[in-house]
Amino acid sequence: MRRFLVLFAVVVHLVLADAVAKELAAGYLKSSAPLSVIPGFFNLAYVENRGCAWGMFQGQVWPLAAFAVLALAFLVWKRKTVFGEGRVAAVSEALLYAGIVGNLVDRMFRGFVIDFFDFHWADAYHFPCFNLADTFITVAAGLLILCSFGKRTS
């Protein structure tokens, strides 16, 4: 029970951090040009993403929200199998739940997800904008992949 309460508290705090970051982006960046943090490499910009990763499935708010709910339900149901035990597993679990919930909240209440991290290499390459929840999901996936190399099968 203690592990669940700690996990729940961490997820709530991460979701709140994501929500605050998105509110700050909306408040400070929505009506202005992108803010150059590292010229030629990193900006803070306001983007309303009405799709999912890399802008796919534009305008499909409810199917994307339903998919997020189903993914979350599956992960909770199969949590022992997907995440395993240990600290790294707990961190990846919290990050993945928080990322899914953070973007789900945006989709359900705004109809889009606010993205604001904007990486690019001069004018040659521009990575799609993303947000803190996306970062949580990506780090969680990376941790799960790294942990999978250490798992032994019987």
Per DSSP bridges, beta strands 42-49 and 113-121 are: antiparallel
Which residue is associated with the tokens 């597993």?
89
Choosing from 18, 106, 115, 118, the catalytic residue is 115
Residue 73 parent element (H or E): helix 61-77
Residue 134 annotated among the catalytic residues of the structure: yes
By C-alpha distance, which of 117, 129, 119 is closest to 55? 129
Tokens of 83: 């995440």
Count CA within 13 A, CB hemisphere, residue 47. 22
Could you say which DSSP state residue 153 is in?
Answer: -
Tokens of 106: 């945006």
User: In whole angstroms, what is the distance from residue 78 CA to residue 81 CA?
Assistant: 5
Choosing from 18, 106, 118, 134, the catalytic residue is 134
Residue 123 annotated among the catalytic residues of the structure: no
Residues with a catalytic annotation lie at: 115, 134
